[in-house]
């Protein structure tokens, strides 16, 4: 068969020999896995609590070690003799997962109120309905609870009186406001047995406020217990969980990710083993999800400590699985492997005491995939998802390394593979640059593991220089997952790192090398995903947000342009028989989409010089060009969210040639019919 070659000629100054880019449509170099471009989610930089989790009340259950963190009371608890008005009851012996609640005792009519500061302020939108709810238990009748949202000046923008449950120990009499279930869950059967009820209503603010507060005013006299005070917007993302911020999740869905790795990251490991992530503690009724410290509270490498950073697990494994199902991407949970963070205490579970950890993995597989008749499958069905999630990928450990990791990995592998041979296990080489990388890589290859996870946080230059990294990797060994990567404009850990256009281009250039090697690099994810513009510990990140809005970075658009133009098969694209990886400052790769019968060419020009190329040998017809361009230091921001964003234009071929301008500092995706 006559080979069909497309010639992409680069217009060069006359004194330079003309060079031709050749795309060979008849040779399939690799199949591209549907999982190729995915997401990495971690509760870092307020990714979950104060971010994607839409809850607006901080420390809603008074379970932070400082039970009043985020709360202010009137009368002040500091005033001598008045702290009996607001009393924290620690009920850990009876309810270890939700130990504390607040008791309010008003013996005389006076100004008694409780105020929550939210996550850096309570932000509400004019005209939108918010669900307010609290768990209450009545001791002495008579108190009326008025809930208010106030703006930064203290003016009320919305209020509601919650009285029903407080009129009668048996619950609401006439207004139906008391229920067993609210937008954020139900009272556990244990809670109901102890007399707890839910009081719920809605508030529609008359004004938008970004630095507001939630206030509970107690009028009259009486005594009651209060727990889980919640304020939730009703414009949450449309998916099953109904408790996630729409603008943030929509940005994830708009990437069309192939997978989502969760829940981290370092938080899988924990500062020590007591703060490791344990999936079983993150599912079921909210009061059974025990709050724990967030490992990023201390600030990580940036030193930006956030003493009020805890994990409420309002988003837990069920919500993450549901989100993956909603976005039609593969769920990729990561489990603690019996080691806490090796940058910190590096605690190791004794090898003969690993049963609980391994059992957690086996139970997770049953929870995700088992029929509803199995123990954990039944649990999933009870939580609202009778159909299995069909999980195929499971990570053992995050950034773990050394013989102690290998020893524990062997235990997991043996147990999982004997019962669930088709589950693909993701194994760790630790962080990079990592002096143990070579050792880890060779041991994992000897173990014939399924997938090796590599992480790269590097400078623009490193990414450009390493686009050929996988060209000579062993083709017969384990598959490679780039579980975390991001270009850091200065260096890793530097708090001046920015999501610049140059970083995005360096990533795009590097990704041509991942795409070209899709036979072994089967998945990759930028990291981390989210950061609050005020509350962050790590930079750069893919998506930044404040309490009201969010913006995508140039790196986000690069991820999106790859994921939306994934194709099905890699075809060779060469210059003088070599991959295009920096010759004349251009990085390029090509795929075809066999379903749509299109050729997709990705061209990255990080240089400051415009280049013109032409794709020759075509039959005419229509093409589209999507271009992301900007100045190297340009960044998007809350004020200018779309300073840099891709623009798509349709082009009609007049003859058999398509000329493409590669603007300075640009990433171009060409799609054309073949
Ligand atoms: O992505 C931020 C952190 O970087 C992750 O938690 C960890 O795995 C890596 O060190």
Distance 273 CA to ligand 1 centre (A): 17
> CA 252 to CA 254: how far, in whole Å?
5
Could you give the maximum distance between any two Cα atoms of the chain, in Å? 95
* Residue percentage of the chain with pLDDT more than 70: 92
> CA 197 to CA 36: how far, in whole Å?
47
> CA 206 to CA 130: how far, in whole Å?
12
**Closest atom, ligand 1, to C-alpha of 486:** 1
| pLDDT at 184 exceeding the cut of 60 | no
Average pLDDT over residues 290-318: 95
The position carrying tokens 């809850």 is: 55
Helices (H) and strands (E) in the chain, counts: 11, 40
Q: Give the pLDDT band of residue 43 (cuts 50, 70, 90).
A: very high
- Tell me what pLDDT residue 190 has: 63
- Tell me what pLDDT residue 630 has: 98
Average pLDDT, the chain: 91
CATH class held by domain 71-233: mainly beta
**Chain-centroid distance, C-alpha 110:** 45
**Lookup: tokens for 173:** 């009499």
Question: DSSP 3-state assignment of 356?
Answer: helix
- Tell me what pLDDT residue 84 has: 87
Is 394 buried (19+), middle (13-18) or exposed (0-12) by CB count in 10 A? buried
Of all helices (H) and strands (E), which one includes residue 516? helix 501-516
Average pLDDT over residues 42-63: 98
457, 492, 527, best to mutate for ligand 1 pocket (most atoms within 8 Å of CB): 527
* Per-residue buried b or exposed e for 155-192, using 16+ beta carbons within 10 Å of the residue's own CB: eebbbbebbbbbbeeebbeeeebbbeebbbbebbeebe
| pLDDT at 281 exceeding the cut of 50 | yes
Q: Name the residue at shortest CA distance from atom 3 of ligand 1.
A: 265
Q: Please tell me the number of Cα atoms within 13 Å of 355 on its side-chain side.
A: 2
| pLDDT at 17 exceeding the cut of 50 | no
Q: Are 576 and 626 in contact (CB under 8 A)?
A: no
Residue 603 φ/ψ, nearest 5 degrees = -130, 125
In this structure, the number of other CB atoms found within 10 A of the CB of residue 86 comes to: 25
| pLDDT at 179 exceeding the cut of 90 | no
Question: DSSP 3-state assignment of 503?
Answer: helix
Q: Which CATH number does 4-32+570-673 carry? A: 2.60.40.1180
Cα torsion at 337, 339, 340, 345 (round to 10°)?
A: -170
In this structure, the number of other CB atoms found within 10 A of the CB of residue 248 comes to: 20
Ranges of each domain in the chain: 4-32+570-673, 37-54+262-308+322-549, 71-233
Give residue-wise pLDDT tens across range 306-335.
999 999 999 999 999 999 999 999 999 999
Q: Residues with beta carbon inside 6 Å of ligand 1? A: 42, 44, 264-266, 398-399, 431, 484, 527-528, 538
Of all helices (H) and strands (E), which one includes residue 219? strand 209-219
Q: Please tell me the number of Cα atoms within 13 Å of 325 on its side-chain side.
A: 19
526, 538, 543, 555, best to mutate for ligand 1 pocket (most atoms within 8 Å of CB): 538
Q: Are 484 and 454 in contact (CB under 8 A)?
A: no
Q: Give the pLDDT band of residue 14 (cuts 50, 70, 90).
A: very low
pTM attached to this predicted model: 0.94
- Tell me what pLDDT residue 97 has: 93
Distance 265 CA to ligand 1 centre (A): 5
Residue 344 CB partners (closer than 8 Å, separation 6+)? 271, 272
Cα angle 286, 88, 178 (rounded to 5 degrees) comes to: 50
Q: Name the residue at shortest CA distance from atom 2 of ligand 1.
A: 528
Adjacent-strand bridge partners of 591: 570, 600
Nearest to 50 by CA among 423, 550, 471: 550
Bridging pattern class, strands 37-40 and 259-262: parallel
**Closest atom, ligand 1, to C-alpha of 538:** 2
DSSP for residue 53: B
Q: Give the pLDDT band of residue 614 (cuts 50, 70, 90).
A: confident
- Tell me what pLDDT residue 370 has: 98
Q: Give the pLDDT band of residue 644 (cuts 50, 70, 90).
A: very high
Q: Please tell me the number of Cα atoms within 13 Å of 195 on its side-chain side.
A: 10
- Tell me what pLDDT residue 193 has: 67
| pLDDT at 68 exceeding the cut of 70 | yes
**Lookup: tokens for 249:** 């999740």
Inter-CA distances, 356 with 316, 405, 412, 419, 525, Å: 20, 16, 11, 16, 30
Give residue-wise pLDDT tens across range 72-84.
999 998 777 777 8
- Tell me what pLDDT residue 174 has: 30
**Closest atom, ligand 1, to C-alpha of 42:** 6
Residue 406 CB partners (closer than 8 Å, separation 6+)? 440, 443, 444, 447
Q: Do domains 37-54+262-308+322-549 and 71-233 have the same CATH topology?
A: no
In this structure, the number of other CB atoms found within 10 A of the CB of residue 413 comes to: 18
Distance 42 CA to ligand 1 centre (A): 8
Inter-CA distances, 555 with 8, 61, 190, 255, 540, Å: 26, 37, 47, 12, 9
> CA 162 to CA 142: how far, in whole Å?
12
> CA 138 to CA 198: how far, in whole Å?
11
Interhelix angle 437-446/403-419, rounded to 10 degrees, is 30
CATH class held by domain 37-54+262-308+322-549: alpha beta
| pLDDT at 465 exceeding the cut of 60 | yes
In this structure, the number of other CB atoms found within 10 A of the CB of residue 447 comes to: 14
Distance 41 CA to ligand 1 centre (A): 10
Give residue-wise pLDDT tens across range 483-493.
999 999 999 98
Output 450 or 21, whichever has higher pLDDT.
Answer: 450
Residue 28 φ/ψ, nearest 5 degrees = -90, 115
Q: Name the residue at shortest CA distance from atom 6 of ligand 1.
A: 265
399 a catalytic residue: yes
Among candidate residues 55, 160, 200, 399, the one labeled active-site is 399
Cis omega (within 30 of 0) on the bond before 528?
A: yes
Distance 532 CA to ligand 1 centre (A): 16
Task: List helix spans (H) across 276-430.
Answer: 317-327, 355-369, 375-382, 403-419
- Tell me what pLDDT residue 659 has: 80
528, 529, 540, best to mutate for ligand 1 pocket (most atoms within 8 Å of CB): 528
Q: Are 602 and 592 in contact (CB under 8 A)?
A: no
End-to-end CA distance of the chain: 17
Q: Name the residue at shortest CA distance from atom 8 of ligand 1.
A: 265
Give residue-wise pLDDT tens across range 336-394.
999 999 988 899 999 999 999 999 999 999 999 999 999 999 999 999 999 999 999 99
């Amino acid at each position: 068969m006559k080979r069909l070659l497309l010639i992409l000629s680069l217009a060069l100054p006359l004194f330079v020999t003309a060079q031709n880019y050749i795309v060979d449509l008849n040779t399939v170099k690799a199949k591209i896995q549907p999982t190729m471009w995915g997401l990495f989610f971690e509760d870092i930089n307020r990714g979950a609590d104060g971010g994607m989790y839409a809850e607006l009340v901080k420390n809603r259950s008074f379970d932070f070690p400082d039970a009043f963190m985020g709360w202010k009371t009137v009368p002040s608890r500091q005033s001598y003799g008045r702290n009996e008005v607001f009393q924290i009851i620690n009920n850990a012996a009876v309810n270890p997962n939700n130990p504390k609640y607040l008791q309010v005792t008003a013996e005389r009519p006076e100004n008694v109120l409780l105020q929550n500061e939210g996550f850096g302020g309570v932000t509400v939108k004019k005209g939108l309905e918010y669900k307010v709810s609290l768990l209450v238990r009545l001791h002495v009748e008579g108190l009326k609870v008025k809930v208010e949202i106030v703006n930064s000046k203290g003016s009320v923008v919305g209020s509601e009186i919650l009285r029903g449950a407080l009129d009668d120990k048996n619950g609401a009499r006439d207004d139906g406001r008391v229920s067993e279930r609210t937008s954020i869950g139900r009272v556990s059967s244990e809670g109901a047995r102890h007399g707890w009820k839910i009081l719920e209503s809605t508030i529609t603010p008359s004004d938008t406020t970004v630095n507001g507060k939630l206030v509970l005013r107690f009028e009259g006299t009486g005594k009651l217990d209060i727990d889980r005070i919640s304020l939730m917007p009703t414009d949450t993302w449309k998916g099953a969980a109904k408790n996630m911020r729409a603008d943030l999740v929509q940005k994830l869905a708009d990437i069309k990710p192939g997978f989502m790795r969760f829940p981290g990251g370092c938080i899988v490991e924990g500062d020590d083993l007591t703060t490791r992530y344990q999936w079983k503690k993150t599912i079921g009724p909210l009061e059974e999800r025990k709050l724990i410290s967030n490992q990023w509270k201390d600030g990580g490498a940036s030193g930006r400590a956030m003493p009020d950073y805890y994990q409420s697990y309002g988003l837990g494994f069920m919500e993450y699985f549901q989100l993956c199902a909603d976005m039609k991407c593969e769920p990729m949970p990561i489990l603690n492997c019996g080691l806490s963070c090796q940058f910190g205490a590096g605690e190791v579970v004794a090898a003969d005491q690993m049963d609980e950890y391994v059992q957690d993995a086996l139970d997770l597989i049953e929870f995700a995939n088992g029929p509803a008749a199995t123990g954990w499958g039944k649990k999933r069905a009870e939580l609202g998802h009778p159909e299995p999630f069909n999980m195929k990928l499971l990570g053992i450990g995050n950034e773990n390394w050394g013989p102690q990791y290998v020893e524990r990995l062997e235990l997991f592998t043996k147990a999982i593979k004997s019962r669930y041979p088709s589950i693909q296990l993701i194994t760790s080489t630790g962080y990079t640059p990592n002096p143990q990388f070579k050792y880890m890589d060779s041991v994992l290859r000897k173990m014939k593991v399924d997938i090796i996870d590599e992480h790269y946080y590097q400078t623009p230059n490193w990414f450009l220089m390493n686009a050929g990294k996988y060209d000579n990797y062993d083709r017969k060994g384990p598959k490679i997952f780039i579980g975390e990567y991001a270009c850091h404009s200065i260096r890793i850990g530097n708090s001046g790192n920015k999501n610049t256009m140059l970083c995005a281009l360096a990533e795009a250039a590097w990704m041509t090398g991942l795409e070209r090697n899709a036979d072994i690099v089967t998945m990759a994810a930028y990291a981390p995903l989210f950061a609050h513009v005020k509350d962050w510990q790590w930079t750069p990140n893919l998506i930044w947000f404040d309490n009201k809005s969010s913006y995508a970075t140039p790196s986000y658009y690069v991820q999106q342009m790859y994921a939306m133009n994934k194709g099905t098969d890699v075809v060779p694209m060469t210059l003088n028989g070599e991959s295009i990886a920096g010759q004349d400052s251009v990085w390029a790769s090509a795929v075809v989409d066999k379903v749509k019968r299109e050729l997709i060419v990705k061209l990255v020009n990080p240089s400051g010089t415009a280049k013109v190329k032409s794709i020759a040998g075509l039959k005419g017809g229509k093409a589209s060009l999507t271009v992301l361009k900007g100045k190297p230091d340009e960044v998007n921001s809350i004020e200018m969210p779309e300073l840099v964003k891709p623009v798509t234009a349709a082009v009609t071929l007049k003859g058999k040639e398509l000329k493409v301008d590669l603007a300075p500092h640009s990433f171009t995706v060409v799609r054309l019919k073949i």
